Chains A and B, each alone.
Chain A
Amino acid sequence: MLSIRNLSKTYASGFSALKDVSLDIAPGEIFALLGPNGAGKTTLISIVCGLVRPTGGSATIGGHDILHDYRAARALVGLVPQELTTDAFETVFATVSFSRGLFGKPRDPARIEQILRDLSLWDKKDNKIITLSGGMKRRVLIAKALSHEPRMLFLDEPTAGVDVELRHDMWRVVRGLRDKGVTIILTTHYLEEAEEMADRIGVIQRGELILVEEKRALMQKLGRKHLILELAEPVAAVPPALAAFGLERSEDGTTLTFAYDGGPSRVGDLLRELPAAGVQVRDLKTEESSLEDIFVGLVRGK
């Protein structure tokens, strides 16, 4: 669906934001692009969507070159930009209809109504955009991007600064699109989001795509989890019966931590053996390694 070959971008300032990136995305796939601030995620998306000129390499969408056959290529694509850039005095309905026209589709009020309803925007359809909250504006941007029924959707940090409810709404919409066969590329800083949504994950760092992998494989490899047991009574040492789990005891002996990775784990075994080992658990919680940890891990591994 999307094929990127040796794409590079050096901005006029001389800064090299993208270095020789190649990537293939299959139709119907959900691809999450992860990377720290300034890694080049937005630059990559902007080139593919026609906002930024590449300084090297090429890309095709559905077989259409993004530069030479831009009409056919762009007609397939919807873009939700990272920044909240909307008109102010237009109504929601008018601005979404405008987008549909811009992408060469005839008017279709019924279709627009459906899109607005899916995004819980229908009761706001006659409101001026300036009167909407930030989260609502983001929904409007999504509605605009979907107005022409794209085959591929770019979501550049769709859930930045968005509340939990909207985030879940968004995930629901994305899944609905995937079920219709829409290819989705999203960038995010939340591991949870990538984990929840993506089929494949790419990590970009200082303009280089340093890793592309199936989500499941990546999570197993990199997503360390920790089970933290808060004890009713401090222990002086890790009980020998639990030695096989490689538990770590805190300084004061009040907690034991079990580290495991994303694959099939032995958490169940551990919990079963606790009473036999004479350990009284007051409370327990799990922690996941953050995306930052993964980045750090990746960069160190390089």
Chain B
Amino acid sequence: MNIHAIAAIYRFEMARTGRTLLQSIVAPVVSTSLYFVVFGSAIGSHMNEIAGVSYGAFIVPGLIMLGLLTQSISNASFGIYFPRFVGTIYELLSAPVSPLETVIAYVGAAATKSTMLALITLATAAFFVDLRIDHPFWMIGFMLLTAITFSLFGFIIGIWADNFEKLQLIPLLIVTPLTFLGGSFYSIDMLPPFWRTVTLFNPVVYLVSGFRWSFFGASDIHVGVSLGMTLAFMLACMAIVFWIFRTGYRLKR
């Protein structure tokens, strides 16, 4: 294991984050606050409790997931796309670094950053609503699992994309809709039966549901199913990453 290489890449990526620290912290605080003003107070005051949880508190897990997903994808995809774009990837390709080490370093750094942001979002949310977290270990567990899975997904996008437009395309066209329709702001029990079935094809539903369970002990979908689906998606991403390195896809000519 080339530990020094993993550490070097990880440090490099975290330094990149560090240069935009203020923006990294301010952005989630501001957006979370806005969500609470709009959904928590303005709309939430007219909403019933869902499964004994106030609407303001109900949306917290979904909100954190939303940020976690988008941040994981954008950090990881940018982290690997940028060196490809400017050409500095040559150094990584010429170094004695294995694919596994590369993935651990890039995905680890992206997941670290998005988890930090998720925790900031959580802290901001705690200002607005009374939160209870029934299963803190599972909460952290789901958070990390999601961060790692979607950083892997972002890594794949960063390798697949060959221009900046494509880099934004998947997050914009697929991930954001899936998160909004993934039960972040409502319980899927509120949907008509047909749409409830459709929703079950949305992987984000399982993430949000499992994550919400770790807060309130209740969920739309059994937590074991949520965990299983998240792990399955992670394994799928890992398989694709493995294939990318085995074939040199988009990395080597």
A interface list, Cβ under 8 A from B: 11-12, 46, 49-53, 70-75, 77, 79, 81, 83, 85-90, 94, 97-106, 144
Q: List 26 A-B contacts (CB under 8 A).
A: A46-B253, A50-B93, A50-B94, A51-B93, A51-B252, A53-B248, A53-B253, A70-B96, A71-B96, A73-B96, A75-B96, A85-B86, A85-B90, A89-B19, A98-B8, A98-B12, A100-B8, A102-B5, A102-B8, A102-B9, A102-B91, A103-B5, A104-B2, A104-B4, A104-B96, A106-B4
Closest residue on chain B to residue A43 by CB atoms:
B253
Closest residue on chain A to residue B87 by CB atoms:
A85
The A-B contact count (CB < 8 A) is 81
Q: How many residues on the B side are at the interface (Cβ–Cβ under 8 A)?
A: 26
| CB-defined contacts of A103 to chain B, threshold 8 Å | 4-5, 95-96
List residues of B (1-52) whose CB comes within 8 Å of A's CBs. 2, 4-5, 7-9, 11-12, 15-16, 19
| CB-defined contacts of A88 to chain B, threshold 8 Å | 86
| CB-defined contacts of A98 to chain B, threshold 8 Å | 8, 11-12
* B8 x A101 contact (CB < 8 A): yes
B92 interface contact, C-beta 8 A: yes
* A74 x B95 contact (CB < 8 A): yes
Closest residue on chain A to residue B247 by CB atoms:
A53
| Known interface pairs A81-B90, A105-B4; 15 further A-B residue pairs with C-beta atoms within 8 A, sorted by A's residue number | A46-B253, A51-B94, A53-B248, A53-B252, A73-B96, A77-B94, A79-B90, A79-B94, A85-B90, A89-B19, A100-B8, A102-B4, A102-B8, A104-B2, A104-B95
* A12 x B95 contact (CB < 8 A): no
In the bound complex, CA of A126 to CA of B111 (Å): 29
List residues of B (58-113) whose CB comes within 8 Å of A's CBs. 86-88, 90-98
* A85 x B96 contact (CB < 8 A): no
| CB-defined contacts of B4 to chain A, threshold 8 Å | 100-106
Top 10 A-B residue pairs of the complex, sorted by shortest distance between their CB atoms: A101-B8, A85-B87, A74-B96, A71-B96, A49-B94, A102-B95, A75-B96, A101-B4, A104-B2, A102-B5
| CB-defined contacts of A79 to chain B, threshold 8 Å | 90-91, 94
In the bound complex, CA of A11 to CA of B16 (Å): 34
Digitize B124-144: 1 where CB-to-A-CB distance is under 8 Å, 0 elsewhere.
000000000000000000000
Closest residue on chain B to residue A102 by CB atoms:
B95
In the bound complex, CA of A118 to CA of B13 (Å): 28
Query: Chain A's nearest CB lies how many Å from the CB of B169?
Result: 23
Closest residue on chain B to residue A148 by CB atoms:
B95
| CB-defined contacts of B92 to chain A, threshold 8 Å | 102
* B91 x A144 contact (CB < 8 A): yes
Digitize B151-188: 1 where CB-to-A-CB distance is under 8 Å, 0 elsewhere.
00000000000000000000000000000000000000
* A74 x B2 contact (CB < 8 A): no
| CB-defined contacts of B7 to chain A, threshold 8 Å | 101
In the bound complex, CA of A99 to CA of B2 (Å): 13
Query: Chain A's nearest CB lies how many Å from the CB of B7?
Result: 6
In the bound complex, CA of A1 to CA of B8 (Å): 28
Contact of A71 among B9, B11, B98 (CB under 8 A): B98
In the bound complex, CA of A80 to CA of B248 (Å): 22
Query: Chain B's nearest CB lies how many Å from the CB of A250?
Result: 50
In the bound complex, CA of A144 to CA of B8 (Å): 13
A12-B253, A90-B15, A94-B15 are known contacts. Are A71 and B2 too (CB-CB below 8 A)? yes
Contact of A87 among B5, B88, B97 (CB under 8 A): B88
| CB-defined contacts of B98 to chain A, threshold 8 Å | 71
| CB-defined contacts of B252 to chain A, threshold 8 Å | 50-53
